[in-house]
Amino acid sequence: MAIDMSAFWFLLFLVPCVQLQGTNTKPTWPNYKVPVIVPESTTGLEKPHFDAAPRLDVSGSCGPDCHKHFPTPTFGELKENMAYETLYSNGSRTLTEVGIYVVASKARTENGAGKSRRKRQIYGHDTRFNIYGKNFLLNYPFSTSVKLSTGCTGTLVAEKHVLTAAHCIHDGKSYVKGAQKLRVGFLKPKVKDGGKGGNRTYPGASDKMKFQWIRVKRTHVPKGWIKGNANDIGMDYDYALLELKKPHKRQFMMIGVSPTGRQLPNHRIHFSGFDNDRPGNLVYRFCEVKDETYDLLYQQCDAQPGASGSGVYVRMWRRDKQKWERKIIGIFSGHQWVDRNGDKQDFNVAVRITPLKYAQICFWIKGNYIDCQDG
């Protein structure tokens, strides 16, 4: 393909995003130009074995400093990483090669490392909130959180689509047990037994909820994740998109290109998930972004396995629509111990939705690139 590599990289990484200079101080969604990713060829692969043990958490030791020292991928490597596998519910599987055609502008990430405490996953006091009561659980934004039958969390991002982490489906070498019969669970109120009414003493307990399950029709996982060895750099590609067999009929949350940590309101991100230390509960939390690379957000939100795959969202002002809008800008991936000059620190890591990833996920959802040009 005739493409000027240096120009490509210059535009993709070095030109700061068009930051709207507002007269107000509202945190405003930046305008991102998104590249075009289109499938070029699709080939059949043999049926996978579904022999990997499902893991609710990935952990790695390569932290922000380590990640920042990785060489920038070449255009060829990017194309390889953005290729993807599609798994169908009948067990068949395809590999799709993609073409990447237009360039995007993106702010270069910078160091923003903060001093951090040395605890594991729960940082200091546990600051997670159980979300109780069907008035909350059944309403936006909490109603967009769904549970995967493999144990992770996912988020509704379209009428039939759920965004989650790749490791909930595939361990980097093989599909996990249960990936073929993957289902997505929606919290629904339990049918009241004989109209007994609520439990006034324990309002949380009266709104008994249960999961109602919908089968997954197909699953997309980027090749950047499927490398045969689950290495640290693979965490950059820890995302997957599930298509349901039928529409879920709930409100969903849009995806958007991740602004930098500094652009976020109070530098904060939010997510809700089904942490496995609180079975049956949807758990909400928010925290500050501590550091970032082009592909990852490092934070110390309290989280336990089971929350992985949760959509990380923020609420910012949409200038063109003149309203506040929440969008998913990342996917909660897992936990990392990081050796910083002999000082062990740990972070929870979220995969950022970069312009390229936005283009890919959006294409998976819409099936065309025309509707995917504004991140």
Ligand X SMILES: *[C@@H]1O[C@H](CO)[C@@H](O)[C@H](O)[C@H]1NC(C)=O
Asked whether the beta carbons of 288 and 266 are under 8 A apart, the reply is: yes
Minimum gap (Å) between residue 92 Cβ and ligand X: 4
Asked whether the beta carbons of 285 and 258 are under 8 A apart, the reply is: no
Q: Does 130 participate in binding ligand X (rule CB under 6 A)? A: no
Q: Does 367 participate in binding ligand X (rule CB under 6 A)? A: no
Token pair 């950059």: residue: 236
Minimum gap (Å) between residue 202 Cβ and ligand X: 4
Minimum gap (Å) between residue 87 Cβ and ligand X: 10
Q: Does 245 participate in binding ligand X (rule CB under 6 A)? A: no
Q: Does 129 participate in binding ligand X (rule CB under 6 A)? A: no
Token pair 């500050």: residue: 288
Q: Does 24 participate in binding ligand X (rule CB under 6 A)? A: no
- With CB under 6 A as the contact rule, the residue among 205, 212, 262, 318 that binds ligand X is 205
Tokens encoding 279: 């079975």
Is 308 among the residues known to form the active site? yes
Active-site hit among 67, 167, 170, 248: 167
Q: Residue 281: CB partners within 8 Å, gap ≥ 6?
A: 130, 131, 132, 274, 275
Q: Does 280 participate in binding ligand X (rule CB under 6 A)? A: no
Q: Residue 55: CB partners within 8 Å, gap ≥ 6?
A: 167, 171, 176, 305
Which CB, 43 or 201, lies closer to ligand X?
Answer: 201
Q: Does 202 participate in binding ligand X (rule CB under 6 A)? A: yes
Active-site hit among 59, 92, 232, 374: 232
Asked whether the beta carbons of 248 and 214 are under 8 A apart, the reply is: yes
Active-site hit among 116, 145, 308, 333: 308
Residue of closest CB approach to ligand X = 199
Q: Does 201 participate in binding ligand X (rule CB under 6 A)? A: yes
Q: Does 21 participate in binding ligand X (rule CB under 6 A)? A: no
Question: Considering only CA atoms, which of 235, 303, 242, 299 is closest in space to residue 70?
Answer: 235
Q: Does 180 participate in binding ligand X (rule CB under 6 A)? A: no
Name the amino acid, one letter, at 127: T
Q: Does 213 participate in binding ligand X (rule CB under 6 A)? A: no
Choose the stretch contacting ligand X; rule: CB under 6 A; options: 103-111, 200-208, 232-240, 257-265.
Answer: 200-208
How many Å apart are CA 165 and CA 332, to the nearest integer?
Answer: 7
Element (H, E) at 154: strand 153-156
Is 170 among the residues known to form the active site? no
Which CB, 190 or 262, lies closer to ligand X?
Answer: 190
How far apart, in Å, are the Cα atoms of 244 and each of 213, 248, 298?
A: 10, 8, 30
Q: Does 199 participate in binding ligand X (rule CB under 6 A)? A: yes
Question: Considering only CA atoms, which of 172, 141, 165 is closest in space to residue 331?
Answer: 165
How far apart, in Å, are the Cα atoms of 295 and each of 161, 215, 291?
A: 22, 30, 11
Binding map of ligand X across residues 67-96, x = CB under 6 A, - = no contact: ---------------------x-x-x----
**What radius of gyration, in Å, describes the C-alpha atoms of the chain?**
20
Q: Does 5 participate in binding ligand X (rule CB under 6 A)? A: no
Q: Give contact residues for ligand X (rule: CB under 6 A).
A: 88, 90, 92, 199, 201-202, 205
Q: Which residues are catalytic?
A: 167, 232, 308
